[in-house]
């Protein structure tokens, strides 16, 4: 493995771990605050699935990097600019409809992405994806069901769901973005061609929106930058809460 390939693979595993870590943390904020107990349990289960996935990806990233950083160091000892998650997953929860909009858009992409990653020539990435795609299928079923339930519900639930969708829609585009490092890994059979997933993901989204009687938002502003460490103001506040114990008590063992 060349040094360039090692660096590309490290960055790739890191961004996959960051997506799951940050979204898992966001969902964890709903603990004991969900509209009802069953939803609390469902959201926390999804959060735990994502944390488990994040730990595996970050552990692998640390092994590839070879500098002695484990999943805890990568999760709790990087600053904002060192994170490479997509902007979508760091957006605030808002109300429940807004959370569902964010989750549905992520899940619609994630199911297709993880299914494709199972065919990676990298055995570790393929194995993680094989487990993750089963979880992602459940996550999508949950978020899609609630998208439809709220969209095709009362006038208020419909309006809230539409508003949540409008707020989260601009961030969908970044999930399909690829930099030169990912393109090199695609050519090597390691990474997923994100752009090749777009038509299928959008078709899945459109089908759900039709059933939910929701209007597909108009494409316009499409913020990017999360992959290179340029984040919204929201991530700093999230990390301050997530990382405070390790920062306050360096070397803590979990």
At 253 the pLDDT is 67
pLDDT at 38 over 90: no
Mean pLDDT of 224-236: 97
Cα of 92 vs its chain's centroid, Å:
13
Whether the per-residue pLDDT at 252 is higher than 90: the answer is no
Counted residue by residue, the chain has a size of: 254
Per-residue confidence (pLDDT) for residue 63, from 0 to 100: 97
- The full set of domains in the chain, from first to last, is 3-214+231-248 (1.20.1260.10)
pLDDT at residue 254 is higher than 90: no
């Amino acid at each position: 493995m060349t040094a360039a390939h090692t660096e590309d693979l490290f960055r790739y595993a890191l961004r996959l771990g960051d997506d799951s870590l940050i979204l898992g943390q966001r969902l964890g904020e709903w603990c004991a605050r969900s509209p009802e107990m069953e939803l609390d349990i469902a959201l926390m289960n999804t959060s735990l699935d994502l944390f488990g996935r994040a730990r595996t990806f970050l552990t692998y990233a640390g092994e590839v990097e070879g500098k002695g950083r484990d999943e805890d160091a990568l999760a709790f000892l990087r600053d904002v600019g060192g994170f490479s998650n997509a902007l979508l997953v760091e957006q605030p929860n808002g109300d429940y409809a807004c959370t569902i909009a964010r989750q549905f858009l992520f899940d619609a992409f994630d199911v297709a992405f993880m299914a494709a990653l199972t065919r990676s020539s990298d055995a570790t990435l393929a194995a993680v994806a094989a487990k993750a795609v089963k979880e992602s299928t459940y996550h999508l079923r949950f978020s899609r069901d609630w998208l439809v339930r709220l969209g095709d519900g009362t006038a208020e639930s419909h309006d809230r769901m539409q508003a949540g969708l409008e707020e989260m829609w601009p961030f969908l585009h970044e999930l399909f973005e690829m930099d030169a490092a990912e393109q090199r890994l695609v050519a090597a059979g390691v990474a997923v061609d994100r752009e090749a997933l777009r038509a299928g993901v959008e078709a899945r989204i459109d089908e759900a929106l039709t059933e939910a009687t929701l209007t597909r938002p108009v494409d316009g502003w499409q913020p990017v930058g999360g992959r290179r460490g340029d984040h919204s103001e929201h991530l700093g506040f999230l990390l301050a809460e997530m990382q405070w114990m390790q920062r306050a008590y360096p070397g803590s063992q979990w």
